Amino acid sequence: MNTALDLITRVRGVRGAMLVSAEDGLVIAEQLMEGIKGSAVAALAASLAGRLRRAMEAAGLGTSVFWHLQADQGTLLVVPAASGILVVAVAEADVNIGLVRLELLRAGEAVA
């Protein structure tokens, strides 16, 4: 699991990566820069993922493959893996989204 997170945190601009249980929002593994509250981020990411999943299902868009929250000073990127684990990355606003997405998808396959 840490190898999967390593690949994500190596991407320039990524401040941390986590594996989170989608069901209860608990941290499974994490590699975070100092100052990031892992447990709180995990809980909120799981909650947001759950709400987004229900909205997407209601819209007939199927299950979510990848999503990212853009904000003024950073971004949160998430891949829901098949195993019920969320692969989460916290990154700078100018990070290469496409690259992080690829690494998150790879990590998602590795932990599935």
**Chain residues in the site for another protein (CB under 8 A):** 35-37, 40-41, 44-45, 47-48, 51-52, 54-76, 90, 93
- Judged by beta carbon, residue 1 or residue 76, the one nearer another protein is 76
Q: How far is CA 91 from the centre of its chain?
A: 10
Shortest Å, Cβ 75 to another protein: 7
- Judged by beta carbon, residue 26 or residue 55, the one nearer another protein is 55
Buried b (16+ CB within 10 A) or exposed e, 48-73: bbeeebeeeeeeeeeebebbbeeeee
